[in-house]
Structures are given as structure tokens and as C-alpha cells.
């Protein structure tokens, strides 16, 4: 089951336009029906695929008879106005499909969303690309590798005997190695895949590590390149094998579209649950269970891109990387909230949390900054999120090299909170710290720094002098002179604490930071 709003949002990425919606966008969609011109029996269903409709009028009439909530029909921008009028009249939402997109391929996406929603929510995918790779390898007579458009390996056939180093390296690292990518680009492979659906033969080049030839074909949905299929072969495929490769690419496209829709739904479900956790919910334990997070100890991690111009695009890429793979294969669960990526990670080990951030950064083409909240139960994750945000601010300020964790940086966080609280009201115009700083500016003295060193040394002039690089008698002399400038009351514990806070507020490393490099 999926909501109409969700179906519209997902299909919008495949060239589908919603022309009218006389029904609530929250309507539940539970089944899919397809028009069959050879069968006159009445059919009913929530989503109607108007395959073979000669006009929008026919499609809407069929959908109305099927008591459908929405109908998908092929058409260009010229038919949208008529589609809107007909749909409003019949009470059916009309979605017009770009002519460049195959309705057969789009049907796979719709079935994946509507019929496999419960399956993807539990963390399982609707397709098996490895089985498809095996089947295609049998049909074309060569080892097969299926890659996405970023040259990452999605699946490969099991008979990988006598493969060349290039193919072995690709499978081992689950992506095309850099040296091979440069070689293939030089042979025009990327340009061919972006512009042609015809298979291309890449001849062997033993001196460059390409000891065997291969055939490659683009996997495409309409105008969008989804990936590629590679087949090991000594010579260009011809006849039935070449046709089998082309047909296989279309089948792979259908699988990838269904997988993308399923993953998109999975991400939406995951994001909604994570947001509930970090914002606070009465049924936190139930939400954690639905997310499949084991154990009672959890950490919130906050991540942002750093030093990039297209920050929103970078944030979406980071979210995509964090949620790549189905739930059972990932340790954390993630969501985007505003300009921050939040991940809830099980376990109480700071090193594991930092390792997760490092793994995320490794797969991104830009640096990130991150903050790690303290160990929390499910019910305490809102506080963990605040801690992660505060640690993120420290990392953004360049005050730490590694992503700070609340367990280790609680003192810096507490001082930042005190600074924030002190800035809420008007800064005192008088008082020991203000008057000493004014004296320093006017006379070139170092009284404020001396007071700080003495307070940090807990009143020991020898330790304070060592920190300042002066003799302890110099510290004593300065204290006497400072008492002539202002009232210190160093014997009063409350006054000493207030002066510590006042000095910390005035010396804010975040507010006073200089711009410079940061991020992982």
C-alpha cells in the first residue's frame, strides 16, 4: 500500500505529470489493474494503467468503470488540459506519462510501490539482480557485470572464470577502478553510453590491463541513463546473443526502476521514523523496533557538507550515500531535517560512530563536518540530537580535527551553553572583567589574562605564572594592581565562578573564530 501523494512524488522523477486530482492525495492505493482489450470482464483497482488507450477520454472512462483512484495514460503537454477536465468530471486523478518513457517500464515502478510497499518497509528488495545476471550470462555466453550510472557494481554473474584483471578488480572493489575508468573514457565508452542504446564492443588492450574484450550496452529509461551491462567476450556479439544483450538491458532497466522506487519508499518510511525519534515521541521503543535497531544504547549523529557551493545538492548526495542499501545491511538509520543529516546509530562506542562518519565521507566527493551525541536511550534521543548539534557546531568552527563526541567534549559544550545563556540578556557594562579588559586596552596591560590564569590555576600564583610565562611574583604584583583598578573579591567563591563565566563568554572560540579549513 502507498498513498497517492507518494506515488505522484516518485513518478514525477520519471516524466509523469499530475494533471488533476479531484480525490484526496492521502488516498490509499492497494492494487493495480491494466486494461486488457481482449477481456470484457469488469475489473476494479486503485491504480489503472491505460495501456493501449487511443485517447485520454478512453483512458479516463476505463478508469472510472474500474472505480480507480488514478489513471496513468501516455500523452504530451497538449493533452493535459483535456485530461484535467475529463478527470475532474469523472472524479479520477489523471497522470500523463512522457511519451519517451515506456509504460511497460513504468508499470514495474508502480507495482513496486503499490504492491511491494510492505516488503520494502521491512528492508527487503523486490528484485534479484544477481539472478538476472546469471540468466543473462547464460543467454549471451559470457560473464556479466551490471553497474549503475556511477560505475558501481550492482550485480555480477556467478561464472566468473578466466576473467581479466580489470574485471576482477572491478568486482573486488564493487566499482570500476580509477585507472580503468580513465582508460574506458579514452576509448569513448562514457560518451557512447550517454547517447546510444546500441551495444559497443571494447577491444582488449593487454598492455593497459584490459586483457580481454567486452561488450557494453546502456541501461536506460526513456532519456535517463540508469547504468550499463558488461559482457566478457573475445569478439563483438552478433545475432541472437546481441539481441539477448539488448533485451537483457531493457529487463535490467525494469529491475532498476523497481529497485529505485522500493528504495525511495524505504527511505521515506525510514526518514519519518527517524524524525519522530530525534524530535521526541511517546512510542520511542516501538519506533526503534520498527527501524530494526538492536540494543538499548543509541547515538545521534549530525552531519553537514562543508565548503561546497551547492549545499542542498551535497546534502541530498550525503543522504543518498547514508541510506544506500536496504535496512538490514546498514548499521544506522537516517533522515534529513532542514540543512542537517541525522543518523541514529546503535552502540555506545565512540570509535564506531567516528568510523561510520569516515565511511560516509569516503564515498563523497566533498568534506563533511559532524557531531556525535552522547549515549542515549530511545526516549532520550531528542537530547542526544541537541548534543550532536552542539558538537557539530564545534567541528564547523574548526575547534577539533575529528568529529567531536559529547562524551569527550562535554566541557566545551557546557561553556558554549553558558555563553549562549549569558548573551540572552544585556552584557554587563561594569564589573571586574569588563573593567580589567578596558584597562588592558587603554594601558597595554595583561590583567584579564592574568585573572584567567589565576582562576584556572585555582589561586596558585606559581602555576599561573608558568601558564603566562612570567614569575609568580609578577602574578602577585599584578593581582595587587588589579585590585586598585576594580573590586575583585577573590575570596568569594560565587564571584570567582561568575568571573570564570564572564571570561569564557568574552573569549568565545566559535563566535571569534577565523575562517579556515575544516571538515573531514
Side-chain-facing half-sphere of 166: CA atoms under 13 Å: 25
Q: Summarize pLDDT for 233-256 with one digit per residue, the tens.
A: 989 999 989 999 988 888 888 778
Cell of 294: 538492536
118 or 383: which carries more pLDDT confidence? Answer: 383
Q: Summarize pLDDT for 32-43 with one digit per residue, the tens.
A: 888 777 667 777
Confidence of residue 464 (pLDDT cuts 50, 70, 90): very high
Beta strands in 121-186 (DSSP E): 144-148, 153-156
Q: What CA–CA distance (Å, rounded) separates 18 from 10? A: 11
* Domains of the chain: residue spans and CATH: 4-117 (3.40.1390), 129-260 (3.30.450.40), 292-414 (3.30.70.270), 427-506 (1.10.10.2840)
Phi and psi at 503, nearest 5°, equal -65, -40
302 or 337: which carries more pLDDT confidence? Answer: 302
387 or 106: which carries more pLDDT confidence? Answer: 387
369 or 417: which carries more pLDDT confidence? Answer: 369
Q: Summarize pLDDT for 109-140 with one digit per residue, the tens.
A: 787 677 654 333 323 333 467 878 888 888 89
Residue 479 has a pLDDT of: 94
Please answer whether residues 506 and 435 qualify as being in contact, where contact means their C-beta atoms are separated by less than 8 angstroms. Answer: no
Q: What CA–CA distance (Å, rounded) separates 293 from 345? A: 8
Confidence of residue 504 (pLDDT cuts 50, 70, 90): confident
Beta strands in 182-239 (DSSP E): 200-202, 214-221, 224-232
Question: Which of 49-58, 167-176, 303-312, 508-517 is the least confident region?
Answer: 508-517
pLDDT higher than threshold 50 for residue 365: yes
Confidence of residue 103 (pLDDT cuts 50, 70, 90): low
Q: What CA–CA distance (Å, rounded) separates 22 from 395? A: 49
Chain centroid to Cα 110, Å, comes to: 24
Residue 295 has a pLDDT of: 63
Query: Over the chain, what is the mean pLDDT?
Result: 84
Residue 325 has a pLDDT of: 62
Q: Summarize pLDDT for 4-14 with one digit per residue, the tens.
A: 888 887 787 67
Handedness of CA 290, 291, 292, 294 (dihedral sign): negative
Residue 112 has a pLDDT of: 66
The stretch 475-486 carries a mean pLDDT of 93
Residue 105 has a pLDDT of: 63
Q: What CA–CA distance (Å, rounded) separates 388 from 386? A: 5
Number of C-beta neighbours around residue 128 at 10 A: 11
Residue 509 has a pLDDT of: 59
Among 221-230, 254-263, 400-409, 421-430, top mean pLDDT goes to 400-409
Q: Which of 312, 299, 358, 368 is nearest to 339 (CA)?
A: 312
Residue 515 has a pLDDT of: 41
Please answer whether residues 249 and 218 qualify as being in contact, where contact means their C-beta atoms are separated by less than 8 angstroms. Answer: yes
Q: Give percent of the chain with pLDDT exceeding 90.
A: 37
Q: Which of 254, 262, 264 is nearest to 226 (CA)?
A: 254
- Cβ-count burial of 207 within 10 angstroms (0-12 exposed, 13-18 middle, 19+ buried)? exposed
Handedness of CA 392, 394, 396, 402 (dihedral sign): negative
The stretch 206-223 carries a mean pLDDT of 85
Q: Summarize pLDDT for 435-450 with one digit per residue, the tens.
A: 999 999 999 999 999 9
Amino acid at each position: 500500500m502507498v498513498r497517492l501523494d507518494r506515488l505522484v512524488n516518485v513518478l514525477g522523477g520519471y516524466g509523469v505529470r499530475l494533471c488533476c486530482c479531484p480525490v484526496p492525495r492521502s488516498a490509499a492505493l492497494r492494487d493495480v489493474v491494466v486494461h486488457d482489450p481482449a477481456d470484457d470482464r469488469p475489473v476494479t483497482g486503485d491504480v489503472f494503467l491505460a495501456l493501449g488507450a487511443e485517447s485520454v477520454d478512453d483512458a479516463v472512462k476505463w478508469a472510472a468503470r474500474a472505480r480507480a483512484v488514478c489513471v496513468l495514460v501516455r500523452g504530451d503537454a497538449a493533452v493535459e488540459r483535456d485530461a484535467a477536465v475529463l478527470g475532474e468530471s469523472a472524479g479520477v486523478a489523471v497522470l500523463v506519462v512522457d511519451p519517451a518513457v515506456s509504460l511497460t517500464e513504468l508499470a514495474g515502478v508502480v507495482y513496486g510501490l503499490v504492491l511491494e510497499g510492505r516488503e520494502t518497509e521491512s528492508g527487503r528488495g523486490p528484485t534479484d539482480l544477481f539472478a538476472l545476471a546469471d540468466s543473462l550470462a547464460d543467454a549471451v555466453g559470457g560473464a556479466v557485470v551490471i553497474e549503475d550510472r556511477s560505475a558501481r557494481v550492482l550485480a555480477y554473474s556467478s561464472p566468473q572464470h578466466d576473467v581479466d584483471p580489470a574485471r576482477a578488480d572491478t568486482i573486488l572493489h564493487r566499482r570500476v577502478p580509477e585507472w580503468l575508468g580513465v582508460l574506458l573514457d579514452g576509448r569513448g565508452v562514457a560518451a557512447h553510453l550517454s547517447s546510444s542504446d546500441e551495444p559497443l564492443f571494447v577491444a582488449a588492450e593487454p598492455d593497459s590491463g584490459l586483457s580481454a574484450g567486452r561488450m557494453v550496452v546502456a541501461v536506460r529509461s526513456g532519456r535517463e541513463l540508469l547504468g550499463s551491462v558488461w559482457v566478457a567476450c573475445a569478439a563483438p556479439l552478433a545475432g541472437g546473443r546481441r539481441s539477448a544483450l539488448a533485451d537483457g538491458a531493457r529487463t535490467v532497466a525494469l529491475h532498476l526502476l523497481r529497485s529505485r522506487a522500493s528504495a525511495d519508499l524505504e527511505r521515506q518510511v525510514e526518514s519519518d521514523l527517524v524524525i519522530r525519534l530525534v524530535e521526541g515521541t511517546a512510542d520511542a521503543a516501538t519506533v526503534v523496533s520498527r527501524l530494526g535497531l538492536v540494543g538499548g544504547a543509541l547515538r545521534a549523529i549530525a552531519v553537514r557538507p562543508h565548503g561546497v557551493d551547492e549545499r542542498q545538492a551535497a546534502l541530498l548526495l550525503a543522504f543518498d550515500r547514508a541510506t544506500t542499501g536496504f535496512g538490514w545491511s546498514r548499521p544506522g538509520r537516517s533522515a534529513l531535517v532542514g540543512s542537517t543529516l541525522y543518523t541514529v546509530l546503535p552502540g555506545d562506542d565512540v570509535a564506531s560512530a567516528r568510523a561510520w562518519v569516515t565511511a560516509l565521507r569516503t564515498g563523497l566527493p566533498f568534506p563533511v563536518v559532524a557531531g556525535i551525541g552522547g549515549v542515549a536511550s530511545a526516549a532520550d534521543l531528542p537530547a542526544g540530537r541537541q548534543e550532536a548539534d552542539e558538537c557539530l557546531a564545534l567541528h564547523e568552527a574548526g575547534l577539533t580535527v575529528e568529529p567531536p563526541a559529547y562524551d569527550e567534549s562535554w566541557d566545551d559544550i557546557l561553556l558554549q551553553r553558558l555563553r549562549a545563556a549569558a548573551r540572552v540578556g544585556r552584557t554587563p557594562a561594569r564589573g571586574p572583567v569588563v573593567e580589567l579588559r578596558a584597562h588592558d586596552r587603554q594601558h597595554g596591560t595583561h590583567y584579564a589574562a592574568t585573572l584567567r590564569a589565576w582562576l584556572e590555576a585555582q589561586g596558585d600564583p606559581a602555576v599561573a605564572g608558568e601558564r603566562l610565562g612570567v614569575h609568580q611574583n609578577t602574578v602577585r604584583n599584578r593581582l595587587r594592581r588589579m585590585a586598585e583598578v576594580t573590586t575583585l573579591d577573590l575570596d568569594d567563591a560565587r564571584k570567582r565562578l561568575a568571573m570564570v563565566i564572564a571570561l569564557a563568554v568574552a573569549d568565545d572560540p566559535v563566535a571569534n573564530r577565523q575562517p579556515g579549513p575544516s571538515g573531514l
